[in-house]
Chains A and B, each alone.
Chain A
Amino acid sequence: MLQFHYDPTTNPLNNDEWSFPLFECIHIAMFAMSIGTIAIVDFRLLGLAFRRESPAELLKATSLWTLIGLIVVITSGLVIWTTDPVAYYYNPAFRYKCIALVGAIIYNYTIHRKTILSNPSVFAGALVGGVSLLLWISIVFAGLFYAFI
């Protein structure tokens, strides 16, 4: 059994009507920014949009916003997690989300980035973009599913 010397009932988020949904809204808006900017590059890699720009140009245009989004989405996520850390810890969807998030971030800043900057073939680009998109969407799904399992 995981031991915690922390009483979540003392957490301000559990004692204030507005703060919990406010952090949820920040979390959602910022995953729209981080995943949305990654999706712009992935759509290009898949050949679905922005074909006048190269994937590298789009990466350059969006990378700062992806980073800002990721920092805020993870920070707000951690704040939400403190409202009931033990229950989250034992939830399989939350565990998947954490592992997939670490994997997606590593993937985004290694394989994804290197492929884009190396002017990939259409097939390699589509593969890397498709995996990226699916990985990030699966994290959104996991975020919703831990309320249901």
Chain B
Amino acid sequence: MSPAEISQAIQDTTFFTGLRESGLPYPIVLSTHLTCIAVFGGLILMSDLRLLGIAMKNVPVSEILLRSRPWKRLGFVIMVTCGILLAGSKFASYYDNPYFQIKMCLLALVGVHAIVFHRSVYANPERLDNFKVMPRAAKAAACVSLVLWLGILSMGRWIAYFERPGDHPRRAVPVASSPR
């Protein structure tokens, strides 16, 4: 089977067909995906800005990193679950979408980021509480995290705007809604 056929088969399963053609569940899953960006993505953003030493300076770094960690993990699980549901239900048009592919690569790099900065930053954040100016490793971890997550967010949005050769332009005339 070719990748196109496998993707089509995934999309054509009863479950994903039902989700794609459902009236309410699909937008609910999509909204939940975005809500996770708002609530838990916000936690990542503020953790990174704290590591850079530019936000929430009256709260210890360890407090922000350690206390938000279980919530970030929960948010990540919900976000990825919703993402799998959304991508699976339209997988035939997603698997070869370059923006989707870049998004998946960036997600993999988030895992690499966690491994690379584990010892120097994330494993022992109490150590960072003693620094008046954040060490380079902490700032580097925050910058890389910001770039990766903003990239993931942007590529996620751009998936909807990919046009294959021969496709009609999506926004030649105004429409009230952005592409789904």
Q: Which of A8, A39, A43 has the most CB of B within 10 A?
A: A39
Query: A87 contacts which of B49, B68, B160, B176 (Cβ < 8 Å)?
Result: B176
With A32-B45, A36-B46, A84-B174: A61-B56 Cβ-Cβ less than 8 Å: yes
B31 and A146 within 8 A (CB): no
- Residues on the A chain within 8 Å of B153, using CB: 25, 28-29, 32
The chain B residue sitting closest to A39, CB to CB, is B39
With A36-B42, A145-B27: A14-B174 Cβ-Cβ less than 8 Å: yes
Nearest chain B CB to A27's CB is how many angstroms away? 9
- Residues on the A chain within 8 Å of B160, using CB: 21
Main secondary structure of the interface of B (DSSP, over half): helix
- Residues on the B chain within 8 Å of A143, using CB: 34
Give the docked Cα–Cα distance between A147 and B70 (Å): 32
The chain A residue sitting closest to B160, CB to CB, is A21
**Residue total for B at the interface (Cβ-Cβ under 8 A):** 43
6 residue pairs from A and B, CB less than 8 Å apart = A36-B41, A65-B46, A65-B49, A136-B38, A140-B35, A144-B34
A-B contacts besides A17-B161, A21-B161, 7 pairs, CB < 8 Å: A11-B174, A29-B153, A32-B42, A61-B59, A62-B46, A62-B56, A144-B27
| Interface of A toward B, CB cutoff 8 Å | 8-9, 11, 14, 17, 20-21, 24-25, 28-29, 31-37, 39-40, 43, 48-53, 57-58, 60-62, 64-65, 83-84, 87-88, 91, 94, 133, 136-137, 140-141, 143-148
